[in-house]
Amino acid sequence: MSTIDSVLTENRVFPPADAFVGQANISGRAAYDAMCAEATNDPENFWARLARENLSWATPFTRTLDESQAPFYKWFDDGTLNVSWNCLDRHLENGNADKTAIIFERDDGTSERVTYRALHARVAQFANGIAALGYKKGDRAIIYLPMSIEAVVAMQACARLGVIHSVVFGGFSAKSLQERIADVGATLVITADEQVRGGKTIPLKPAVDEAFSMGGCDAVTNVIVYRRTGGNVAWNEGRDRWMHDVTAGQPETAPAVPVEAEHPLFILYTSGSTGKPKGVQHASAGFLLWAQLTVKWTFDLKPDDVFWCTADVGWITGHTYIAYGPLAAGATQVIFEGVPTYPNAGRFWDMIARHKVSIFYTAPTAIRSLIKAADNQPDHHPDKYDLSSLRLIGSVGEPINPEAWMWYYKNVGGERCPIVDTWWQTETGGHMITPLPGVTPLKPGSCTLPLPGIAAAIVDETGGDVELGKGGFLVVKRPWPAMIRTIWGDPERFKKSYYPEELGGTYYLAGDGANRDTDGYFWIMGRIDDVLNVSGHRLGTMEVESALVAHPLVAEAAVVGRPDDLTGEAVVAFVVLKQERPDGEEAKAIAKTLREWVGREIGPIAKPKEIRFGDNLPKTRSGKIMRRLLRVVAKGETVTQDVSTLENPAILDQLGKAL
Ligand code: PRX
């Protein structure tokens, strides 16, 4: 509640500097208003114009939007193109072959530069290599790779052939990997021997082997392994092959297979309000259009910029703003293998100075941890580094509290760089509500206004508009090209999750609560469903509960979020064991076991920060767990709500005590 109060009373406003406005790709409020008017008055023409101006089509489209199967919208659906061609080949044709596409910095501080010509050659060789193994349009490949040029090469090579990729974040466990391999029906897995982060090596290939041992992976005929460290790996002859063997001798050009605009480009799993992660399916043309446009609009990308998005390619941010958007826009970008605090808390600032980064995009969690680290390591405070190359900075993934915003603005942006606080989701494909740096006066903590073409609104539980200043559900009233197309293999769940009948069935329901102030600015209040946001990572409470109850000691579990200064939200689990409620050292030991168990079932990011044991959980007489009350208890607050419907009110006292 305190953050909500503080953001709603936030009244500092930072208008864009005249110099920035003068050079911006979208310059001044009148330009923004004109684009919004065009999009509102004639949306089909607006999107068709942008798609024709910005993408290179193999077959031009004649139909812009097909709403006949709504909410299964189709965009530009009689056109064909190739995403990789748009990201690579067209830059070779327009004289940018020798421009640096990627500056890759390894964990140890060494770096490598790759031009568009060289990246194109590497993508072509790998595409030829996997085509030679028999992979073709429509097949599914799981990519389980660390941050590397090879990760981008693998994604682009899939796109070149029309192979649908599904990237699994390297921090996910073997179990999570196995579930995704099976659900997506993958026939190819691309991984690495190990990853290197913060001076340590972490094995990846063994997780793939373990996933196979769990079953459900029989359709996979090849596991391609990128040799990152040369660490020891077990080898399955006939199935496993080195990436360098797959590419060896392959030509440096490869056909870019034209695919229908609606052909799935990728499937990315994300957490929802039930236990099973959802495979969010994105289409080729619409996604690419928005990835490229938002790089130009929100980040104001210019030919000489050096762009750096610190996300991992395992998340949507790394898809849109590393693997596709910057390349489609012809940018030079930094890709980083390591972590922000190694070898010290100045790593990001040092990299910005060395690579002359001009646009920097990171998450509030990173900013909050670096604020703390800068206090502890004053020699690595951003003011010790030359950050004068920066001209724009951005934030993504979770609400940024005004205090962190101000620190970022002053210490990183030098009170000169606009901050773009970008609200969007795995499902939206790209930015939705965000300041435009040459247009929007900034308010710390607000993601400000929707982009042109994005009909964002706040409604009540029946779908009616709420007045400014009143909170409600964040929705998008009209379709947009980069939107989720369906949940892989589960169209019914897609409809139910995002187009609920209660709201009339035509609005996209984001799952966030939001508020608008009298200037029409949006303030995101967090999720309205059972989804948590821990360090910018989306996590379903039900997923963690399912993992806990899968442990032989556990009878029942309920998981809630608690506000956390560093991670935004923290996972708190209330657990009933099959044995008597433990206390003292025994309780601590079991809690440790269960935390590790969750780490193995899902991944380290899902480990509960705190576990509390009870004889039971607070339930209504009909047996429903009262999570609302558990959220109060988890915060250490006294329950003041009416508990008369509870079967067992005394349990709240027991659960109120931390171990
Ligand atoms: O709750 C919102 C929060 O992150 C959720 C989407 O998570 P995910 O699909 O993993 O994508 C994260 C990267 C786009 C949203 O429903 N969120 C994302 N950006 C912001 C945000 N909350 C507040 N402000 C933001 N800028």
What interface predicted TM-score (ipTM) does this complex get?
Answer: 0.99
Checking if the pLDDT of 7 tops 70, the result is no
pLDDT category of residue 8 using cuts at 50, 70 and 90? low
Q: Write down the domain spans for the chain.
A: 1-33+457-531, 535-656
Per-residue model confidence as pLDDT tens digits over 374-432: 999 999 999 999 999 999 999 999 999 999 999 999 999 999 999 999 999 999 999 99
String of b and e for 176-211 (b: at least 16 CB within 10 Å)?
bbbbbbbbbebbbbbbbbbbbbeeeeebbbbbbbeb
Q: What is the pLDDT of residue 3?
A: 44
Alpha-helical (H) ranges within 468-624 are 491-498, 541-549, 584-601
CB of 396 shorter than 6 A to ligand 1 = yes
Q: How far is the CA of 487 from the centre of ligand 1 (A)?
A: 18
Q: Helices 116-132 & 149-161, crossing angle to 10 degrees?
A: 60
The fold adopted by the segment(s) 1-33+457-531 is Luciferase; domain 3 (2.30.38)
Mean pLDDT of the chain: 96
Q: What is the pLDDT of residue 5?
A: 46
Checking if the pLDDT of 642 tops 90, the result is no
What mean pLDDT comes out for the span 432-437? Answer: 98
Per-residue model confidence as pLDDT tens digits over 260-277: 999 999 999 999 887 789
Q: What is the pLDDT of residue 1?
A: 32
CB of 498 shorter than 6 A to ligand 1 = no
CB 115 within 8 A of CB 347: no
Q: What is the pLDDT of residue 535?
A: 92
Mutate to test the pocket of ligand 1, among 298, 316, 393, 424 (most ligand atoms within 8 A of CB): 424
CB 558 within 8 A of CB 551: no
What mean pLDDT comes out for the span 579-603? Answer: 96
What mean pLDDT comes out for the span 523-532? Answer: 92
CB of 421 shorter than 6 A to ligand 1 = yes
pTM of the model: 0.95
CB of 341 shorter than 6 A to ligand 1 = no
Checking if the pLDDT of 472 tops 60, the result is yes
What mean pLDDT comes out for the span 633-640? Answer: 91
Choose the CATH number for 535-656 among 3.30.300.30, 3.20.20.60, 3.20.20.10, 3.40.50.2300.
3.30.300.30
Give the rounded percent of residues in the chain with a pLDDT score beyond 70: 98
Pick from 313, 309, 379, 315: which is nearest to 350 by CA? 379
What mean pLDDT comes out for the span 295-319? Answer: 98
Which residues are CB-contacts of 261 (< 8 A; sequence separation ≥ 6)?
61, 74, 75, 76, 77, 78, 79, 80, 81, 283, 284, 285, 286
Q: What is the pLDDT of residue 9?
A: 63
CB of 512 shorter than 6 A to ligand 1 = yes
- Output 629-635 pairs: Cβ under 8 A, ≥24 positions apart: 630/558, 630/560, 630/572, 630/574, 630/655, 631/560, 631/561, 631/562, 633/574, 634/560, 634/561, 634/562, 634/572, 634/574, 634/610, 635/562, 635/563
What mean pLDDT comes out for the span 314-323? Answer: 98
